[in-house]
């Protein structure tokens, strides 16, 4: 039998083709792995942002809601009346001024603000080291006969540039401190005794704040800048699109003023 010899260049060409195919398949696998990694990392980042938004919204609703529930509280053996209405609100502004005669100051964030008043004791507040009742920031209220006035609003922090929920307590009037980061706006509507619907703070005359028995509370929370265009429903029920690459979510809660309801005729 005659043996046929293959030239050296034919064998080398076959090896080069195999190498080319192997490299191509390897690149496909690498590209697929990198794409899957990026997709998983992006999904993880979005999930973390959503969790932070939810945590901030729940915390803000809890903090403000618990304070609103305390509005008008006076212990059974206390005969001293409060120095003002149990609750007072501002539309697109924050409560400011003297404790007994609150006024409204406009906010660039257009967030609503609310002030809650009640008598503090060892049951309704944590006591400070000196035995005095404390405000929303844990500050002793000092010589105020135990009356607590906590004022809440949302604005952008001048140090971080992020929106935050602030509270100004009786312990240090004029100095508000941040409580929850990411809260972009508060929206509050008020229910009067016997009313058919809730109204904005701007629609309530000063003498009618004593008749408020419930509050519709909404907080709008903003997430991190992740370059997403997302739609969300704001506190007024409008469907909007975020153009700054940040996710947003609104959280609602209806809060009854239990102490005021009990005092209603």
Residues 64-108 pLDDT 10s: 999 999 999 988 777 788 888 999 999 999 999 988 889 999 999
DSSP string, 94-137: EEES-TTS-EEEE-TT---EEEEEEE--TTTS-B-TTS-BB-TT
CA distances to 25, 41, 148, 256 from 253, rounded to whole Å, are 56, 33, 23, 10
Q: How far apart are alpha carbons 211 and 57 in whole angstroms?
A: 28
Instruction: Give the DSSP letter of residue 201.
Output: G
CB 94 within 8 A of CB 104: yes
What's the rounded Cα separation, in Å, for the pair 3 and 17?
26
Task: Provide the b/e sequence for 197-230 (b: ≥16 CB within 10 Å).
Answer: ebbebeebeeeebbbbbbbbbbbbbbbbeeeeeb
Q: What is the pLDDT of residue 263?
A: 56
Among 171, 144, 149, CA closest to 87: 149
Quote the strand ranges of the chain, DSSP E.
87-90, 93-96, 103-106, 113-119, 147-156, 163-168, 177-181, 183-192, 212-225, 231-233, 239-241, 246-256
pLDDT for the residue 104: 95
Average pLDDT estimate for 212-234:
92
**Contact in structure between 91 and 112 (CB atoms under 8 Å):** yes
Span 117-143, pLDDT tens digits: 998 887 778 888 888 888 898 888 876
């Amino acid at each position: 039998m005659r043996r046929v010899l293959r030239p050296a260049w034919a064998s080398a060409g076959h090896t080069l083709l195999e190498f080319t195919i192997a490299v191509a398949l390897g690149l496909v696998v690498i590209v697929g792995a990198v794409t899957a990694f990026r997709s998983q990392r992006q999904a993880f980042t979005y999930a973390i942002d959503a969790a932070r938004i939810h945590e901030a919204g729940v915390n803000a609703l809890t903090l403000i809601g618990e304070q609103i529930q305390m509005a008008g509280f006076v212990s059974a053996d206390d005969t001293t009346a409060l120095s003002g209405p149990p609750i007072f609100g501002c539309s697109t502004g924050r409560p400011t001024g003297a404790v007994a005669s609150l006024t409204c100051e406009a906010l660039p964030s257009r967030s609503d603000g609310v002030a809650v008043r009640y008598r503090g004791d060892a049951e309704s507040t944590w006591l400070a080291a000196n035995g005095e009742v404390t405000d929303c920031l844990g500050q002793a209220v000092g010589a105020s006969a135990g009356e607590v006035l906590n004022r809440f609003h949302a604005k952008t922090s001048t140090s971080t540039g992020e929106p935050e929920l602030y509270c100004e307590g009786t312990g240090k009037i004029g100095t508000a401190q941040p409580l929850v980061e990411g809260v972009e706006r508060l929206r509050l509507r008020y229910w009067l005794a016997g009313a058919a619907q809730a109204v904005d703070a701007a629609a309530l005359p000063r003498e009618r704040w004593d008749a408020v028995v419930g509050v519709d509370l909404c907080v709008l929370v903003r997430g991190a800048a992740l370059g997403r265009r997302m739609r969300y429903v704001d506190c007024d029920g409008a469907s909007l699109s975020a153009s700054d690459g940040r996710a947003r979510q609104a959280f609602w809660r209806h809060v009854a003023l239990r102490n005021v309801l009990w005092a209603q005729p």
